Every structure is written in structure tokens, then in C-alpha cells.
């Protein structure tokens, strides 16, 4: 009873490790810690995978949770289940009670456990990631994440499937998040500055930092591009400077630097799925952000980015940069392989090849046998020839 009161209610941890800052209330726990963490003693091996552990009880928990899917401790406030009472306690305190008493000295991150704080510090501020993927340059501080990464990225093993769509993932947590967000519409985290909503606190923080605070801490070494996420800078480097586009369309020669771009391309171009419709005209798109850009630029006339050399203005900063490069700096990076044509955009080069070299005339007039290579040429023809007031 005295031991229970000291360890649980008074949080008295009289046994301290001389090699690190670990503390515990029992001598046996201290011995277990030293043998497993500092001496590397792991005598119990899993017969289903390469997991090795010092305590047999932990091996039993591993088999029950990972291989048998047994999680006996259920959260009373959500559908979370845990293999150990301690994990359920951490979940309840961090997620539902928001008890995160361990604060990072470098940023505003808070953790429910000292171990989580240590891991955060090592990965975010010290860039210490001891587990490396043998197939690519992916690194992490979680050994379990390496296995998930290999299954998901390299082996394409996705055991958790959505019953409502074709979504698949290697994590049950990601599947739950997907169902809540996509099918149930649960977005419990709301932005106080705009109407943005999301189902994760981290996504809300990213939104606030990027959209409202303009934080872009990762910069490109080759141009003035900057991003909030380091991964976005890597994608930028691969696609813009190294011209690496790993995601290829199986229907045409389109290549994208992100899987999401390829999915968007297939949905809009090949499947013609355009769920977002403009209420002011017949414009349709497969993206909510594209619809917002369309309305702001075409119907509301919002053009915040102005050229310093002429009266040109655009809604998007990227369009202004293309204008500067093509009109004032005469930079045309996209060259035709069949002639000396050069374009300032890849889309212009594609149009040139289709109309000049492939002679593709996909837009047909409904009033005569006229064909055009672009929609705007067909619209001009109809207005000029068939609906002319002269």
C-alpha cells in the first residue's frame, strides 16, 4: 500500500539511473531500464517479426497488439484502444484533457510524457534521427515508423482499407482519420481567423502558420522559394531545379512531382470528375482551391500581385513570376524538340506541340465543320462567325 501511494499518488521516484535522467519507484524497474536501454539486453524475440525485447511481458503485449490485434483498454470518450493501461492514460490526458505538462524550450510544443518531449527535441531541433531506410534517404527517430514507411512506400503493403472508397493505408490511425474527415465530415479543429476546418490539431497549426502568419522557415538554396514544411522544399528542388517527377500517368505522358498532383490530373483529365462548380458561370474543377481562385480572379477581380514594370496584375504570385520571366526578362525555359519554339509555361509548350506538330484539333464547332486546337479559338470563331451582329 505504501509503495502504491508513493509511486501513484505522491509520484515519489527514489531509484535514479546514473547513466541518464530516468527515475522510478521500484528497484526492479531500474534494473529493467539499465539492462534494456544501456546494456542492450533483449532476450525475448518475436516469432512473427524481428521485434526483440528485454521483458517477456512486453513481448506478449507486442504479439497481442501487432499480430493479433488485441487491445483490451478502451477509451470512454472515443474509439481509441490500447494494449496497456499506461498508454490509455497518456491518450486520455493528452487528447481529451489536454494535459501536456512537458514543454519544449525551443518552441511551443508540449508533450504528455518526457519521452515524447525528448523525441520531439531530437527530431525537430537536433535533427537526430537514428533509424534510416535502406532503400531511400528517409530517416526517423521511431523504429516502428521505418517498418511502416517500407510497407507503405517500397513494398506498397496497405492492410487497412476503407469500406466506402478505394482508400488504403498501412496505419489504422490514418484509416480512422480518413473516415472521419472524408466520409463523416468530422472537422473538430476550427481556425479562429477564417472558415478553415480540419480533423487534426497539427494541420490547423500548419494552416495558421502558413496562411495567417506567413511562416516559411525552410528556404531553397537556388532561388527565393521558401516553405513552411521541409518536405515541400525537397519537392520543389526535385521538380523545379532537378526536373525529377516520379509520379507518372498510366494514360498519357503526364508526370507529377507529387502523388496528389497525379491523382488530381487523372480525376480531372481522364475521369472528368469535377465536383466543384462555379455558381456564376459554367466553370467546373476537381479542386476546391481552384474554384476559389477562379471566383476571386474572374468574378471578384481580385488581383493582389502587381507588376512593377507595367500595369499587369494577377491573383496568384506564380502568374506574376511567369509574366516577369516571359515578358520583361524574356526567359522561356520550355523548348520544343521539333522546332525552335520556346514557351514560358509547360502548358504553352504542350499546346504548341498538339496544335502545330500533332495537329490535334479537339474543339469542334456545333454549327459548322470548323475545328480548333484551343477552346478560346473555338469561342472566338462562334462569336465572330455565327453570332456576329454585322
Predicted pLDDT at 353: 83
| Residue range 192-212, pLDDT digits in tens | 888 888 888 888 888 888 888
Three-class DSSP category at 139: strand
Write out the H or E segment, with its range, that includes residue 4: helix 2-4
The DSSP secondary-structure symbol of 212 reads: I
CATH entry, 2-108, from 3.30.160.60, 3.40.50.10490, 3.40.50.10860, 3.40.50.300: 3.30.160.60
* Percent of the chain residues topping a pLDDT of 90: 1
CB 131 within 8 A of CB 119: no
Q: How far apart are CA 338 and CA 356, in angstroms?
A: 10
Q: How far apart are CA 250 and CA 182, in angstroms?
A: 26
Q: How far apart are CA 74 and CA 81, in angstroms?
A: 4
Predicted pLDDT at 373: 73
Write out the H or E segment, with its range, that includes residue 33: helix 27-33
C-alpha neighbours within 13 Å on the C-beta side of residue 358 = 14
Predicted pLDDT at 389: 53
Three-class DSSP category at 297: helix
Predicted pLDDT at 7: 55
| Residue range 282-331, pLDDT digits in tens | 888 888 888 888 898 889 888 888 999 999 888 888 888 888 888 888 87
CATH class of the domain whose range is 346-386: alpha beta
Q: Tell me the backbone φ, ψ of residue 209, rounded to 5 degrees.
A: -65, -40
Domain residue extents for the chain:
2-108, 346-386
Predicted pLDDT at 3: 59
Q: Which of 58, 120, 45 is nearest to 86 (CA)?
A: 58
- Which residues touch 257 (CB under 8 Å, ≥6 apart)? 235, 238, 239, 244, 245, 246, 247
Q: How far apart are CA 146 and CA 211, in angstroms?
A: 31
CB 328 within 8 A of CB 344: no
Q: How far apart are CA 134 and CA 227, in angstroms?
A: 28
Which parts of the chain sit beneath pLDDT 50?
none
| Residue range 270-293, pLDDT digits in tens | 777 788 889 999 888 888 888 888
pTM, two decimal places: 0.42
The yes-or-no answer to whether 2-108 and 346-386 have a common fold is: yes
Give the chain's mean pLDDT: 81
Q: What distances in angstroms separate CA 184 from CA 44, 78, 343, 379, one per listed residue?
A: 42, 15, 45, 42
Predicted pLDDT at 12: 64
Q: Tell me the backbone φ, ψ of residue 223, rounded to 5 degrees.
A: -150, -170
Residue with cell 462562334: 382
**C-alpha 293, offset from chain centre:** 21
Predicted pLDDT at 58: 81
Q: Per-residue b/e over 29-61, b at no fewer than 16 CB within 10 Å?
A: ebebbbebeeeeeeeeeeeeeebebbeeebbeb
Amino acid at each position: 500500500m505504501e509503495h502504491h501511494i508513493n509511486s501513484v499518488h505522491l509520484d515519489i521516484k527514489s531509484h535514479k539511473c546514473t547513466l541518464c535522467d530516468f527515475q522510478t519507484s521500484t528497484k526492479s524497474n531500474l534494473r529493467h531500464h539499465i539492462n534494456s536501454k544501456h546494456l542492450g539486453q533483449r532476450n525475448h524475440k518475436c516469432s512473427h517479426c524481428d521485434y526483440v525485447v528485454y521483458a517477456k511481458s512486453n513481448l506478449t503485449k507486442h504479439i497481442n497488439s501487432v499480430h493479433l490485434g488485441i487491445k483490451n483498454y478502451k477509451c470512454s470518450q472515443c474509439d481509441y484502444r490500447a494494449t496497456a493501461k499506461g498508454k490509455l492514460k497518456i491518450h486520455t490526458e493528452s487528447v481529451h484533457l489536454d494535459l501536456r505538462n512537458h514543454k519544449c524550450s525551443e518552441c511551443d510544443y508540449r508533450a504528455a510524457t518526457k519521452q515524447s518531449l525528448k523525441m520531439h527535441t531530437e527530431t525537430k531541433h537536433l535533427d537526430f534521427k537514428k533509424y534510416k531506410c535502406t532503400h531511400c534517404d528517409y530517416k526517423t527517430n521511431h523504429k516502428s515508423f521505418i517498418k511502416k514507411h517500407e510497407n507503405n512506400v517500397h513494398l506498397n503493403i496497405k492492410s487497412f482499407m476503407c469500406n466506402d472508397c478505394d482508400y488504403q493505408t498501412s496505419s489504422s490511425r490514418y484509416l480512422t482519420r480518413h473516415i472521419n474527415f472524408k466520409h463523416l465530415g468530422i472537422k473538430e479543429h476550427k481556425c479562429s481567423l477564417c472558415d478553415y476546418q480540419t480533423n487534426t490539431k497539427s494541420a490547423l497549426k500548419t494552416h495558421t502558420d502558413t496562411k495567417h502568419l506567413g511562416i516559411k522557415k525552410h528556404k531553397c538554396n537556388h532561388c527565393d522559394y521558401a516553405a513552411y514544411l521541409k518536405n515541400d522544399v525537397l519537392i520543389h528542388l526535385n521538380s523545379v531545379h532537378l526536373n525529377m517527377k516520379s509520379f507518372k500517368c498510366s494514360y498519357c505522358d503526364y508526370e507529377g512531382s507529387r502523388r496528389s498532383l497525379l491523382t488530381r490530373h487523372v480525376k480531372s483529365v481522364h475521369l472528368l470528375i469535377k465536383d466543384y462548380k462555379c455558381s456564376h458561370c459554367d466553370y467546373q474543377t476537381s479542386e476546391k482551391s481552384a474554384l476559389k481562385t477562379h471566383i476571386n480572379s474572374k468574378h471578384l477581380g481580385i488581383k493582389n500581385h502587381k507588376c512593377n514594370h507595367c500595369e499587369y496584375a494577377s491573383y496568384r504570385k506564380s502568374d506574376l513570376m511567369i509574366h516577369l520571366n516571359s515578358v520583361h526578362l524574356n526567359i522561356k525555359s520550355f523548348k520544343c524538340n521539333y522546332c525552335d519554339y520556346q514557351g514560358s509555361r509547360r502548358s504553352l509548350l504542350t499546346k504548341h506541340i498538339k496544335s502545330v506538330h500533332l495537329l490535334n484539333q479537339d474543339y469542334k464547332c456545333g454549327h459548322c465543320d470548323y475545328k480548333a486546337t484551343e477552346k478560346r479559338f473555338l469561342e472566338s470563331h462562334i462569336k465572330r462567325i455565327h453570332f456576329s451582329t454585322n
